[in-house]
Structure 1
């Protein structure tokens, strides 16, 4: 809280400051919160002097007035919506992955988490100037699979190299390697690097694979390292980048829930839960998949969407494409 002092304008002299103090006006907030006419009557200063002081104080201390339309235009110019490449998932997310948000896809083994990561990587890299950093904690990333998905999306052989050059995969087999990558990334985005300067999507597949081994037991530093990963991911999101992470599922009281505990709950802005089910609701290895939003910071209601038919079509089309390539 700023106290009235000389130097703001000629009318705000020591004598006038003492007069204002005598009627209980000691700070800038005290002066600006009262009616100028009331101040003039109480301290016997002319309304012209009060107006000059008020104008000077507003110019020095008040924030700029921004209209709602200007603020919306400024924000909308920065935000981007990245399609996942799967129509039903895009509908579930009201368009796709939003920049400045961290989206988590959780599910059991073979539920389609890595498949979604590859699909959104292919869809994003098809647009010139949109680069993808894929951080893999295992051997799940496949350049051949990405190439096939790009062909499936309509890219010609001549356009493939340009799209593939906009994707970079790095390995992080433990939490320290992941932290090093995330720590260096913001600085790389601000330099003149032709790749990192244009990164619009960062994928971590999977975040649970590097964090789960250090939580519990004798690893007392595990929780702190997990929070460091969360903080670094939030810093990357602030660079107007969309972040997608995958997580595994654990069973608790016969309920399926994403791993990493309650401390991780606040990290994702949006959480998608993938499940494999039969028609009767029992677990199955068949391609019967369901996606449900269990947390969202921008959608009013929790949405549930059955993506079985699309994923089955997507998978069989992918297999058909591979057969065609092998025949050639």
Structure 2
């Protein structure tokens, strides 16, 4: 443990708690650190980052499979998000396999991020392709932000001159869906038909948001008897879990069969985590473990209280936001600050 790049104070607290090796650190829970070692949340974050950097990681199964002769041509490839800083943070961009969940509160920049990825997918030099890649954008809550898209389409040629007279909007296919049944039909019938028949190559599916079609799915009629209400809620929860599993399975199937990056936007809610009487407020993604088990990579977006002067002609009041990798089979736990500018989403080194 002497090799870990952490404060001496943290090391002494761990030793007093009997946590004296990297193995024991990996086995300890957050509660153990908070109660036994009296570490703060920032101390725990520093400790985990240090252990991640110190530990030896063998070649991952994903990496090994990507070198198999029979592996699909897109395994190991990633979809650039159109920003060098964010691409570096994501180790090249969004993986073209699996399901990436982008969760966060209102105004955290989730939809802005997805719009930029949809435009960046059409830049051959960014994606190392010979032709633009199309995007399927599914909206379940708010109408598609067409006005913001048109604004970005006007600015993108300044950032990428090769865009020229390319009709970027023609390569983004938008679908508005309001319920679970329609979403299933879209994933099982309409999208596969589009992928088979369209001359355009596709690189991205955005579902904004997965929670939208399930909102209110566990509500009940106030006139029902309490016993019937309980049965109704239990039945709805089971039904929702099955629907989530089916939708997640379809997204994984589309991703693996066609080499698509899949981004599912999700909402968050407040939760209180009580440790020795202290209430620690944190954000948790919606839909619980039923959906979390279908996610390959979870990234959380959040707003900070910091403002910086980033716009060339702005007023110096650009809000700083943050992306955090919560879990992933190929990305370490890490954070990256970013800002939503008139020209798009840009990471802050």
The two structures have a TM-score, normalised by structure 1, of 0.65
Identify which range, 144-153 or 70-79, moves more after superposition.
70-79
Conserved 8 A contact 2:98-2:255? yes
Quick check: 1:177 aligned with 2:170? no
Alignment of 1:58-137 (within 5 A): 71-72=67-68, 75=71, 77-79=73-75, 80-127=77-124, 128-137=131-140
Q: Provide the secondary structure at the position in 2 that maps to 1:165.
A: helix
Quick check: 1:201 aligned with 2:201? no
Q: How many residues align?
A: 239
Conserved 8 A contact 1:114-1:140? no
Deviations 1:221-255 (A, max 9, x none): 22222222111111111121110110011111122
Quick check: 1:269 aligned with 2:296? yes
Conserved 8 A contact 2:123-2:132? no
CA distance in 1, matches of 2:318, 2:191: 41
CA distance in 1, matches of 2:137, 2:172: 7
Q: Provide the secondary structure at the position in 1 that maps to 2:189.
A: helix
Q: Provide the secondary structure at the position in 2 that maps to 1:214.
A: coil
Deviations 1:81-125 (A, max 9, x none): 111123333222111011112111100000001000111011112
Gaps of 5+ in 1: 1-67, 319-328
In structure 2, relative to structure 1, the CA distance for the partners of 1:192 and 1:228 (3 Å cut) is same
Cα offset, 1:213, TM superposition = 2.4
Conserved 8 A contact 1:100-1:238? yes
Quick check: 1:233 aligned with 2:242? no
Deviations 1:1-39 (A, max 9, x none): xxxxxxxxxxxxxxxxxxxxxxxxxxxxxxxxxxxxxxx
Q: Provide the secondary structure at the position in 2 that maps to 1:144.
A: helix
Cα offset, 1:141, TM superposition = 2.0
Deviations 1:233-278 (A, max 9, x none): 1111112111011001111112211111011112111111111121
Cα offset, 1:185, TM superposition = 4.6
Paired position in structure 2 for 1:159: 165
Quick check: 1:292 aligned with 2:311? no
CA distance in 2, matches of 1:248, 1:99: 23
Conserved 8 A contact 1:276-1:289? yes
Cα offset, 1:165, TM superposition = 1.4
CA distance in 1, matches of 2:82, 2:218: 34
Paired position in structure 2 for 1:8: none
Q: Provide the secondary structure at the position in 2 that maps to 1:77.
A: coil
CA distance in 1, matches of 2:85, 2:284: 22
CA distance in 2, matches of 1:190, 1:149: 26
In structure 2, relative to structure 1, the CA distance for the partners of 1:183 and 1:147 (3 Å cut) is same
Structure 1 outlier segments of 4+, above 4 Å: 155-158
Bigger Rg, which one:
1
One of 214, 217, 227 as aligned partner of 2:217: 214
Conserved 8 A contact 2:152-2:342? no
CA distance in 1, matches of 2:67, 2:142: 44
Q: Provide the secondary structure at the position in 1 that maps to 2:142.
A: coil
In structure 2, relative to structure 1, the CA distance for the partners of 1:70 and 1:206 (3 Å cut) is closer
Q: Provide the secondary structure at the position in 2 that maps to 1:139.
A: coil
CA distance in 2, matches of 1:317, 1:121: 14
CA distance in 1, matches of 2:325, 2:219: 28
CA distance in 2, matches of 1:136, 1:271: 20
In structure 2, relative to structure 1, the CA distance for the partners of 1:212 and 1:138 (3 Å cut) is closer
The higher relative CO (CA closer than 8 Å, separation ≥ 6) is in 2
Structure with more strand by fraction: 2
CA distance in 2, matches of 1:108, 1:70: 35
CA distance in 2, matches of 1:116, 1:306: 13
